[in-house]
Structure 1
Amino acid sequence: MYTPYLFQFAQVHEEFRIPELLSIAELHSFTVQIPEDIDVTRPFVVLGLESDDHARLLAKRCILIKSICEFYARGKNYDELHATTRTMPSKWARFVEDASFKMNVTAYNHTIPQTRARDVVEDFSYMGMLGRIDLKNPEVTFVCYEEYVDKHGTTRDKHEGDGEFREVFLGRLIEEGTARPLAKTYDVKKRKYFGNTSMDAEISLLMANQTLASPGKVIYDPFVGTGSMAYTTAHFGAFVFGSDIDGRQMRGKEKVPGIIRAAAHYGVDKRIVDLCTFDVTQNPWRCGEMFDAIITDPPYGVRAGAKRLGRKPRPPGSTPRPAVTPPSQPRPDDQPYIPPTKPYELSALATDLILLARYLLKPNGRLVFFLPTVTDEYEEVDVQTMLCEGMEVVANSLQDFGSWGRRLITIRKTTSEKYEPPSFKPTSTSRESPKDSDAPDHVPAHKDFRMKYFKKFNKDEYDT
């Protein structure tokens, strides 16, 4: 039996809200009733839950939740709100006799004058609360929310438009969102600098929630970089293993690796299992189904391009490369051998990453990663054609930057069948049958993203 609850969301990352809710609900083995006509752009949403305990679990873990209330009523004006509220005295009847209480009157996109807020509270006198008013530690907190249209960027008088709200809501506060402050705790500005590619803390926390990170789970980041996702994932109790083709980002310039130093700053260094330098296409994994989740932000070339071991093709007529000194002989310059690397095209990387995840993930394990796309060119089939047998998309949320955006893709391993390690050869994508066979020759919007980015997404330039 579902009970309606009023959710107040932070007005950011609208497309990430429902996937995060569903992920945390799955983590704790309960369901959320979501209406088909939900408008995720609004800060207030009424959803169905089975108990107050489920509401508390969501409020304590979801980064985008500001508060959850037991829903009482809503209306376009206070007359509608009071008319509905009067029909359901059973909602607050158990609190009437002796429960201490208070009522908050607040608004989204507006500041309510104190005098009117007091009048609003007095208008609810028909509820007949007989207990003591306690403004600090009440047993029951009733909340009245007024939702105003967003007028960001306009100049207004202090209380201009007061009372001209879009809708008003009434409920009983169950839990304030306590996870949102974590975004400040893990703010990249508060950790010591040791590399120039760091993920925003709020996004890192959202990604960690999508992995269902929890104590006892082992999670892998194959492009760990400076470890932004490692800290937040470890915060929720998971053990983290990281690797990268460039060990300098992980190490920094001091004896203790930069990721370990930053993790110690957050108190999660004991959950960093290890950090290794290798190319994922030449990885050391000799058995699969090792990890509960894979979380990563693959490099796509805006700051640092993706690389893999190998040599770039030489142009016709160029001078042949010098012969490589055999390992058994000392190098003439007495320097260690640094293997050559070549660019790793994003669409090939994304497809290979899914193949690697299918091999390394346990059944029902999740792959969570960002995929940059050109806004005007993106189609749903772009993601579907990356999939291979045994993998399905759970969520696809856009962070919009205008002409381009990045999509947080969550993919679940749906099979218990064991697979051989992927070969990562250039022909690997052709020998793997895509899940969507209707568009085998489709060119996804993320292909050659780096080139498109630096040509400012001018299609006339990169089509010629």
Structure 2
Amino acid sequence: MTQRYLFVFAQVHEEFRIPELLSIAELNGIEITFPCPLGELDLARPFMVLGLENDEAARLLARRCILIKSICEFYARGRTYAEVHEENRKNASKWEQYIENTTFKFDVSAYNHSIPQRRQRDIVESFSYMALLGKIEMKDPQVTFVCLEEYIDKHGTTRHKHEGDGKCREIFFGRLIEEGSARSLVKKFDVKKRSYYGNTSMEAEISLLMANQTLASPGKLIYDPFIGTGSMAYTTAHFGAWVFGSDIDGRQMRGKDPPYGVRAGAKRLGRKKPLSVPASRPVQPRPDDQPYVPPTKPYELSALATDLVVLARYMLKPGGRLVFFLPTVTEEYEEVDIHTMLCEGMEVVANSLQNFGSWGRRLITIKKTTTSRFPAPVFEPQGGSEENNAENGHVPAHKDFRTKYFQGFKKDVT
């Protein structure tokens, strides 16, 4: 039987919240019931009441999801405490078992507000009808009852910290099941704590969210073709997966840092111009002991993305996932942009935006949905995306992204 739980989310990366939740639910075989279609969820609010089978499912989610601060068994909600108490009395069967000989405490807090100590005491006393007979234990109680007030965001305004106290948007009440312990991993994998990191190393929180999208876990094999300084290797390996990777330039993995990313653009092996000397000419030994760095040439982003999907279809097992970030121009982006890179047997399951204003980067998760075998891909010299886009008459917003980035995303004036 489905029970209702109050999810309290960290108020960051809101668009990543549901994809991460669904991924970890899939990993653990957990079914989640949502109060409305996913597209209608209000992601601007940190509170969400969802359905789960039991407390253990809540614990598994709270211990793995980076964006979960806590999960509580849901008792009541309302715009006033009168409404909360009325609903809480109706749900007495959920908390009556804690009346006798159960140590407890109340946690009272607010989102976008600071509640005065005096009113916190008044709030706790307003629940006296629960007639709890156990001992109050503030350090290690058997049960923690949680009361949360939600206020409208007033950041950017000058006001007293207690101004508007009591005029909240909504109040939630329940029993704490689990604190979100996975959030501590953000500090553990902080790139500043590493002995080496590059100017394009992925920040810890994003790396962890990306690792959760891959469903990293013991027994999984994960390949990172752009491993760089190993940000993804750290986080996916932490969750028990076997990780291996490659990079077009081994200098990053050896502690030297070419400026890849937007600044240098995507690269592929090959020469921009043909050799000026016959290929049969004997190779002269290098006068130093520096490693050989193979020649590279630009790799247009839309072509790279399409080739990556085709390669993933060949390498992934059925149900396996391809997870990558795609930079896009905000004003030009359309949903069809992502679908232009797909091929038979590959399906988008998540598309989350990290918004930087005029541009953003989208965490794309694509799942292999076919059991058919496909031959090893043979990539054209300029990549496969150009021809495909020309055929369907659509040019995705991520095409020529680097050029647009350095032009400040200005539109051509004719």
Q: Match of 1:33?
A: 33
Structure 2, unaligned runs of 5 or more: none
State yes or no: 1:246 paired with 2:249. Answer: yes
Q: How does 1:374-389 map to 2 (within 5 A)?
A: 374-389=329-344
Q: CA separation in 2, counterparts of 1:187 and 1:218? A: 24
Cα 1:364–1:2 shift into 2, 3 Å: same
* 1:452 equivalenced with 2:404 (yes/no): yes
The 5 A counterparts of 1:73-84 are 73-84=76-87
2:263 to 282, 299, 303: 303
Helix, strand or coil: the match of 1:451? helix
Q: Which residue type is aligned with residue 405 of structure 2?
A: Y
Asked if structure 2 preserves the Cα contact closer than 8 Å seen for 1:99 and 1:132, the reply is yes
Picking from 306, 312, 315, the partner of 2:272 is: 312
Amino acid in structure 2 at the alignment position of 1:376: E
TM normalised by structure 1 equals 0.84
Q: Secondary structure at the match of 1:248?
A: coil
Q: Distance in 1 between matches of 2:43 and 2:292?
A: 53
8 Å CA contact retained: 1:224, 1:243: yes
Q: Which amino acid aligns with 2:326?
A: L
- Asked whether the equivalents of residues 299 and 382 of structure 2 are also in contact (C-alpha less than 8 Å), the reply is no
Summarize the Cα distance change of 1:200–1:330 in structure 2 as closer, same or farther, 3 Å threshold: closer
**Aligned residue in 2 for 1:404:** 359
1:175 aligns to 2:128 (yes or no): no
Deviation, structure 1 residue 425: 0.7
The separation in 2 between residues aligned to 1:106 and 1:344, in whole angstroms, is 51
Deviation readout 1:86-125 (Å, 9 max, x if unpaired): 2221110111111111111111111111111001000000
Could you say what secondary structure the match of 1:57 adopts? Answer: helix
Note if contact 2:304-2:383 (Cα within 8 Å) is conserved in structure 1: no
Instruction: Describe the superposition over 1:159-203 as per-residue Cα deviations: whole angstroms up to 9, x where unpaired.
Output: 111111110000000000000010011011111235322011000
TM-score, length of structure 2 as denominator length? 0.94
Aligned match of 1:271: none
What is the aligned counterpart of 1:150 among 153, 172, 175?
A: 153
Q: 1:371 aligns with which of 311, 326, 339?
A: 326
C-alpha distance in 2 between matches for 1:433 and 1:70: 50
SS for the counterpart of 1:92 is helix
Structure 1 residues 198 and 233: CA distance shift in structure 2, 3 A? same
**Counterpart-to-counterpart distance in 1, 2:286 and 2:55:** 69
- From the superposition, tell whether residues 42 and 67 of structure 1 become closer, same or farther in structure 2 (CA, over 3 Å): same
Three-state SS of the structure 2 residue aligned to 1:46 is: strand
Paired residues of 1:325 and 1:331 also in contact (CA < 8 A): no
Distance 1:404 1:22, change over 3 A: same
Change (3 A) 1:68 1:125: same
User: Is 1:331 aligned to 2:284, yes or no?
Assistant: yes
Tell me by how many angstroms 1:332 deviates. Answer: 7.4
**Partner SS state of residue 175, structure 2:** strand
Change over 3 Å in CA distance of 1:72–1:310 after alignment to 2: same
Correspondence for 1:8: 8
3-state DSSP class of the match of 1:220?
strand
Alpha-carbon distance change, 101 to 194 in structure 1, aligned in 2, over 3 angstroms: closer
**SS at structure 1 position matched to 2:384:** helix
**Deviation by residue 1:139-173 (Cα, 9 ceiling, x = unmatched):** 11100000011112222213111111110000000
Change (3 A) 1:430 1:149: closer
Match of 2:75 in 1: 72
Structure 1 pair 323–338 and aligned structure 2 pair: CA distance change class (3 A): farther
Corresponding residue SS for 1:5 = strand
Question: Is contact 2:113–2:161 with CA below 8 Å preserved after alignment?
Answer: no
Instruction: Count how many residue pairs are aligned between Structure 1 and Structure 2.
Output: 408
- Provide the C-alpha distance between the structure 2 equivalents of 1:250 and 1:38, rounded to a whole number of angstroms: 42
Question: Does structure 2 conserve the Cα–Cα contact (< 8 Å) formed by 1:378 and 1:445?
Answer: yes
Q: Is the Cα–Cα contact under 8 Å of residues 389 and 433 in structure 1 kept in the other structure?
A: no
Map 1:35-434 to 2 at 5 A.
35-36=35-36, 37-252=40-255, 301-312=261-272, 321-324=275-278, 326=280, 329-331=282-284, 334=287, 338-426=293-381, 429=384
Identity, % of aligned positions: 70
Contact 2:329–2:359 under 8 Å retained in 1: yes
Unaligned runs of 5+ in 1: 259-298, 315-320
SS class of match (1:180): helix
**Deviation larger for 83-92 or 364-373:** 83-92
Structure 1 residue 420: Cα displacement: 1.1
The verdict on how the C-alpha distance between 1:375 and 1:334 changes in structure 2, with shifts beyond 3 A counting, is same
Amino acid at match of 1:382: D
Distance 1:428 1:193 in 2: 33
CA distance in 2, matches of 1:147, 1:337: 59
Tell me if structure 2 keeps the 8 A contact 1:75–1:168: yes
| More moved, 331-340 vs 380-389 | 331-340
